[in-house]
């Protein structure tokens, strides 16, 4: 019940296209859902996060869509750029348990 | 504003040796977390401190692992009698305040066991 599932495992997108990564969870106690971006040799960096009281949050080219009833959330990267090529992790946490549960990651490659 | 700092960045050691890693969180961050990340996987939670108190430990944290945060500032993670399976990236993160808050990660210590 602690698991967060993530798909696809890898994704190739042309420059200017839309990248979509999906995550699903089981534990209804989760109430915070961040997305992290990780480049090789670096730690994960927070991209954007959402709480279940909203269905969508947008920051620049990055948008999270959240479906509480389906227990699913997704990351959309608009106008994808080669510099977006990285591994993306979704995560989830509960307010009284401060650790994040991470998905297995999606390796995104944006072709020039 | 300096980010989360981890030292060393790389550690190579022989099986059976003890290793210690250090994490300096963002100043004024009261929470500090340790995670382990293996190749192709997401980070896995190990343990969490609020100030100097260790509040939560994962079942992944065997009795060979110990973490401290003696003055509520920097933290150390020690692995005793290292095993091949301990080879991984060890990540530290910190956050501020109560409730769910963004965690800011360091660039990790990569441990390789020969």
Q: Of the ranges A77-81, A92-96, B1-5, which one carries the lowest mean pLDDT score? A: A92-96
- B4 inside 8 A of chain A by CB: yes
Measure the CA–CA gap between A84 and A110, rounded to whole angstroms.
Answer: 7
Shortest alpha-carbon distance between residue A12 and chain B (Å):
17
Tokens 């909203």 belong to A54
Is residue B71 very low, low, confident or very high in pLDDT (cuts 50, 70, 90)? confident
At residue B55, the 3 state secondary structure works out as strand
What's the whole-number mean pLDDT along residues A2-29? Answer: 95
Measure the CA–CA gap between B3 and B24, rounded to whole angstroms.
Answer: 9
Cα angle, residue A85 at apex, residues A18 and B41 outer, rounded to 5°: 105
Residue A1 has pLDDT above 70, yes or no: no
Measure the CA–CA gap between A16 and A112, rounded to whole angstroms.
Answer: 9
- A101 inside 8 A of chain B by CB: yes
Q: Are the beta carbons of B102 and A41 separated by less than 8 Å?
A: no
Is residue A98 very low, low, confident or very high in pLDDT (cuts 50, 70, 90)? low
Burial tier of A57 (Cβ tally within 10 Å: 0-12, 13-18, 19+): middle
Q: What is the pLDDT of residue B104?
A: 93
pLDDT in tens, A32-73: 999 999 999 999 999 999 988 899 999 999 999 999 999 999
Residue B53 has pLDDT above 90, yes or no: yes
Mean pLDDT of all residues in chain B? 93
Q: What is the pLDDT of residue B60?
A: 81
Which residues from A are below 8 Å from B4, CB to CB? 43
- A37 inside 8 A of chain B by CB: no
What's the whole-number mean pLDDT along residues B49-69? Answer: 91
Q: What is the pLDDT of residue A99?
A: 75
Q: What is the pLDDT of residue B15?
A: 96
- A53 inside 8 A of chain B by CB: no
Is residue A112 very low, low, confident or very high in pLDDT (cuts 50, 70, 90)? very high
Measure the CA–CA gap between B22 and B54, rounded to whole angstroms.
Answer: 16
Nearest to B42 among A32, A46, A102 (CB): A102
Measure the CA–CA gap between B8 and B110, rounded to whole angstroms.
Answer: 8
Tokens 């040796």 belong to B17
What's the whole-number mean pLDDT along residues B39-51? Answer: 92
Which residues from B are below 8 Å from A34, CB to CB? 102-103
Q: How many CA atoms lie within 13 A of B58 on its CB side?
A: 18
Q: What is the pLDDT of residue B61?
A: 85
- B96 inside 8 A of chain A by CB: no
B58 token code pair:
């994962």
Q: What is the pLDDT of residue B2?
A: 76
Q: Outline where DSSP puts E strands in chain A.
A: 4-7, 10-14, 19-25, 33-38, 45-50, 56-59, 62-67, 72-77, 86-94, 97-102, 106-111
pLDDT in tens, B84-102: 999 999 999 999 877 778 8
Which residue from A4, A95, A13 is spatially nearest to A51, judged by alpha carbons?
A95
Q: Are the beta carbons of B107 and A42 separated by less than 8 Å?
A: yes
Measure the CA–CA gap between A78 and A21, rounded to whole angstroms.
Answer: 12
Residue B48 has pLDDT above 60, yes or no: yes
Residue A96 has pLDDT above 70, yes or no: no
């Amino acid at each position: 019940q602690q698991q967060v599932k993530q798909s696809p495992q890898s994704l190739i997108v042309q420059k200017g296209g839309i990248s979509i990564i999906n995550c699903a969870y089981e534990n209804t106690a989760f109430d915070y859902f961040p997305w992290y971006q990780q480049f090789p040799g670096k730690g994960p960096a927070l991209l954007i996060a959402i709480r279940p009281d909203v269905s969508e949050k947008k920051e620049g080219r990055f948008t999270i869509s959240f479906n509480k009833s389906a227990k699913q959330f997704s990351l959309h990267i608009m106008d994808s750029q080669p510099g977006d090529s990285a591994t993306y992790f979704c995560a989830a946490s509960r307010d009284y348990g401060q650790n994040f549960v991470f998905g297995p990651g999606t390796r995104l490659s944006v072709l020039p | 504003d300096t980010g989360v700092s981890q030292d060393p960045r790389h550690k190579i050691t022989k099986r059976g040796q003890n290793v210690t890693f250090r994490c300096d969180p963002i100043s004024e961050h009261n929470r500090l977390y340790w995670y382990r990340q293996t190749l192709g996987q997401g980070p896995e939670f190990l343990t969490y401190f609020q100030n100097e108190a260790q509040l939560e430990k994962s079942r992944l944290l065997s009795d060979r692992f110990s973490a401290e945060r003696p003055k509520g500032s920097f933290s150390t993670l020690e692995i005793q009698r290292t095993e091949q399976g301990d080879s991984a990236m060890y990540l530290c993160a910190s956050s501020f305040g109560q409730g769910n808050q963004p965690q800011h990660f360091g660039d990790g210590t990569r441990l390789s066991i020969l």
